[in-house]
Structure 1
Amino acid sequence: MKNMIIKRPLMDKEGPNRSTGIVNGQCSNILNWDDVRFSWAYPKYKKMLANFWTPFEINMSQDIKQFPELSQDEREAFLKIIGLLALLDSIQTDYAGRVADYLTDSSLSALMIILAQQEVIHNHSYSYVLSSLVPKQMQDEVFEFWRTEDILVKRNDFVANGYKDFAEAPTVANLLTSIVYDVVLEGLFFYSGFAFFYHLARNQKMVGTSTMINYINRDEQLHVDLFVKIFKEILRDNPELDTRELSQFVTETFRTAADLEIEWARHIIGSRISGILLSDVEDYIKFYANARANQLGCERPFEGYRTNPLRWIKAYEDTDLGKSDFFEQKSRQYVKVNIDNGFDDL
């Protein structure tokens, strides 16, 4: 098979601790952070650890009071977006594990396992939110939206089919294209949903949920950066794959992905959610499609769209704010709650 990619052995007695290649290289598989090939791996490890959080830390008592007070359109958008995010992060958990199998660098396979663990936490947060707000029957319905919503099916199939080639025929080329779809998923397909939750938060609605979304957003930005670095390192090791065709593929993939995300935004936000302009959301999606394609070193799919049209959203997306109040941007009294989701505070 052309550009076949070999799984990393459990242990290689003949291999050095410092890997000889990101894929198809040699590595003992012994992890010594003071002897790794990529200088950026250890700082990335520390940053991912510093982001550690769990849903149990978030007090949902105020959200429980506010959810019935949302408009019907807001509640519908809230639940459908949660259903979407749950599906996407479920796929990511499995995909990260598959990629880890083929990275012949112990530090990068370790980072991929941390990434997968963070995706499990993301999925837990969606269950945690739903168990706080709606009955079990509705929770189950939300986790079935990915099967029943036509627009969701089309979006999800776009990414799933992009991963499928790598899963079924693991080659270096297929790994590269799967990473492009990963950056679409984590760096674009979440973002109209994120914007909706941040819009609620700036109106002081569902702040507990939006706090979790902020932590997820922060994690996903690190994940995108990690996959972008892996993409570029693979091309450095395999320059014959760094072709004009690959660059065009990246640009066209993000163009199509943006169209799919805009279609979803029109469906879920439309003109029904007051205070947020659909045209701004569409420009925001094109802005991120341009940004992600550019991160991968390729041509931007849309002329213009170099600045974020949702300027107010920067405070929510900032990954360096730490655990801070959305409205006051200052450290808050951060009290972990028990698994009752704060019911004792009602």
Structure 2
Amino acid sequence: MDGRSYRTLSTVLSKVNILDPMNPNRSTALFGGKASGILNWNDLKYPHFYKHREQIRALFWRASEVDMTHDIKQFPNLTASEQTAFLKIIGLLATLDGPQTDMAARISQYSTDPSVKSVMATIADQESEHNHSYAYVLSSVTTLDKQIESFETGRTDEVLLERNSRIMEIYNEFAQNPTILNVLKAMVYTTLLEGLFFYSGFAFFYNLARDQKMVGTSTMISYINRDELQHGRFISELFRATLAEHPEYNTSEFTDWVYDQFRHSVEQETKWSHYILANIDGIDLLEMEGYIKYRANKMLRLLGLSEIYQDHTENPMKWIRAYVDNFDDTKTDFFEQKSRQYTKTSDLNGFDEL
């Protein structure tokens, strides 16, 4: 670097033409490159993106396939605290998942790699089904006015508004000013959203299921959880590959920015968990805080960075694994093997192992 801030180097991206046959079929870059728009899965700049596509597509499901019969009967018998948390957490999840459909589409619009467009199309479809599933759950267990109130939570709850303020800022900045830097930042927050922001909410539903309560909803959440894990893996891989193509952003300044976002996000997720889970039997808030930090460490490793919570490298809530079929911790695939080599990168040059 010559002393200039990475902010002064940000290349503005243009929406990519749908078909441009004068360009090669194999893209020259993920963003800001050239490609014809013709996708040949046997001739990719990043061949392992095909495996991500297959893993994501293998998780296809529909909300209407989940039996909510018992949940309909059980919801009125939940405690007042459980009902309130149930409705507010559904509101949170809808607030986060709804924009993800749009975010996947927007990243796709600016990517010059047709394989990225294809994977993002599948992610967008799944995010759309996630959002539909929240409406499906609520329509099964409560009245229309309560359903509408739950979906209003993201617009009216002060704690939730504060919690989501920074992700809203980063996403909207990318929408208004689509630069290489802003797409990198948006991918960092997409990784945070997919791998951290949902997890106190997921824990609430899994905790109910431990007591044989609202098992249909918990099943739905486990499907969403597995989708999000795969989305997070692909987005973090896309982030690392994009950064490798644009080493001018591989700076201590940007590394520090990423760490700051993780610390801030952990603080906000912890605050939210204390707010929403304080009166829920079966959830230890101190354990929940440790779990949030464990998730942050895990997502940092996927991005190619070092852990920042050295006392939280193991999952303190191992019972959760039963509700996602051990998907996160025990399945070994190409990506997980690859990510482990980044765990000891230095804080000041954390992306150089790309």
Q: Scaled by the length of structure 1, what TM-score is found?
A: 0.90
Indicate the residue corresponding to 1:222 in structure 2: 230
Q: Could you tell me which of 286, 305, 319 is aligned with 1:298?
A: 305
Q: Provide the C-alpha distance between the structure 2 equivalents of 1:76 and 1:268, rounded to a whole number of angstroms.
A: 8
How far 1:319 sits from its partner (Å)? Answer: 6.0
Q: Provide the C-alpha distance between the structure 1 equivalents of 2:260 and 2:297, rounded to a whole number of angstroms.
A: 11
Whether the aligned pair in 2 keeps the contact of 1:162 and 1:177 (CA below 8 Å) is: yes
How far 1:221 sits from its partner (Å)? Answer: 0.5
Whether the aligned pair in 2 keeps the contact of 1:6 and 1:23 (CA below 8 Å) is: no
Indicate the residue corresponding to 1:162 in structure 2: 170
1:203-238 CA distance string (max 9 Å, x none)? 111010000100000000011011101101111111
Q: Provide the C-alpha distance between the structure 2 equivalents of 1:319 and 1:244, rounded to a whole number of angstroms.
A: 35
Q: Structure 1: where are the runs of 5+ without partners?
A: 322-346
Deviates more, 1:226-235 or 1:4-13: 4-13
| Residue 288 (structure 1) aligned with residue 295 (structure 2) | yes
> CA 1:114 to 1:254, structure 2 compared with 1: closer, same or farther past 3 Å?
same
Indicate the residue corresponding to 1:79 in structure 2: 87
How far 1:318 sits from its partner (Å)? Answer: 3.6
Indicate the residue corresponding to 1:317 in structure 2: 324
What SS does the aligned partner of 2:28 have?
coil
Q: Could you tell me which of 16, 19, 34 is aligned with 1:26?
A: 34
Q: Provide the C-alpha distance between the structure 2 equivalents of 1:91 and 1:2, rounded to a whole number of angstroms.
A: 24
Indicate the residue corresponding to 1:252 in structure 2: 260
Q: Provide the C-alpha distance between the structure 2 equivalents of 1:2 and 1:230, rounded to a whole number of angstroms.
A: 18
1:28-60 CA distance string (max 9 Å, x none)? 111121222212111111111110000110110
1:231-270 CA distance string (max 9 Å, x none)? 0111111111111111111111000000000000000001
Q: Provide the C-alpha distance between the structure 1 equivalents of 2:109 and 2:255, rounded to a whole number of angstroms.
A: 26
Whether the aligned pair in 1 keeps the contact of 2:237 and 2:302 (CA below 8 Å) is: no
How far 1:320 sits from its partner (Å)? Answer: 4.4
| Residue 59 (structure 1) aligned with residue 72 (structure 2) | no
Q: How does 1:9-158 map to 2 (within 5 A)?
A: 9-158=17-166
Whether the aligned pair in 2 keeps the contact of 1:248 and 1:298 (CA below 8 Å) is: no
Q: Provide the C-alpha distance between the structure 1 equivalents of 2:167 and 2:311, rounded to a whole number of angstroms.
A: 26
Q: Provide the alpha-carbon RMSD of the alignment.
A: 1.3
Q: Provide the C-alpha distance between the structure 2 equivalents of 1:109 and 1:318, rounded to a whole number of angstroms.
A: 29
Whether the aligned pair in 2 keeps the contact of 1:82 and 1:142 (CA below 8 Å) is: yes
Deviates more, 1:212-221 or 1:178-187: 178-187
Whether the aligned pair in 1 keeps the contact of 2:22 and 2:36 (CA below 8 Å) is: yes
| Residue 186 (structure 1) aligned with residue 189 (structure 2) | no
Q: Provide the C-alpha distance between the structure 1 equivalents of 2:109 and 2:313, rounded to a whole number of angstroms.
A: 37
**Percent identity of paired positions between Structure 1 and Structure 2:** 46
Q: Provide the C-alpha distance between the structure 2 equivalents of 1:6 and 1:21, rounded to a whole number of angstroms.
A: 14
Q: Provide the C-alpha distance between the structure 1 equivalents of 2:169 and 2:256, rounded to a whole number of angstroms.
A: 19
| Residue 209 (structure 1) aligned with residue 209 (structure 2) | no
How far 1:106 sits from its partner (Å)? Answer: 0.5
The count of aligned residue pairs is 320
Whether the aligned pair in 2 keeps the contact of 1:218 and 1:319 (CA below 8 Å) is: no
Q: Provide the C-alpha distance between the structure 2 equivalents of 1:40 and 1:155, rounded to a whole number of angstroms.
A: 35
Q: AA paired with 1:76?
A: T
| Residue 273 (structure 1) aligned with residue 280 (structure 2) | yes
Q: AA paired with 1:127?
A: A
Whether the aligned pair in 2 keeps the contact of 1:122 and 1:216 (CA below 8 Å) is: yes
Whether the aligned pair in 2 keeps the contact of 1:231 and 1:296 (CA below 8 Å) is: yes
User: Relative contact order: is structure 1 or structure 2 higher (C-alpha 8 Å, sep ≥ 6)?
Assistant: 1
Deviates more, 1:12-21 or 1:257-266: 12-21
Q: AA paired with 2:310?
A: E
Q: Provide the C-alpha distance between the structure 1 equivalents of 2:252 and 2:189, rounded to a whole number of angstroms.
A: 18
> CA 1:110 to 1:259, structure 2 compared with 1: closer, same or farther past 3 Å?
same
How far 1:293 sits from its partner (Å)? Answer: 1.7
Whether the aligned pair in 1 keeps the contact of 2:321 and 2:327 (CA below 8 Å) is: no
Q: Provide the C-alpha distance between the structure 1 equivalents of 2:275 and 2:224, rounded to a whole number of angstroms.
A: 23
Indicate the residue corresponding to 1:4 in structure 2: 12
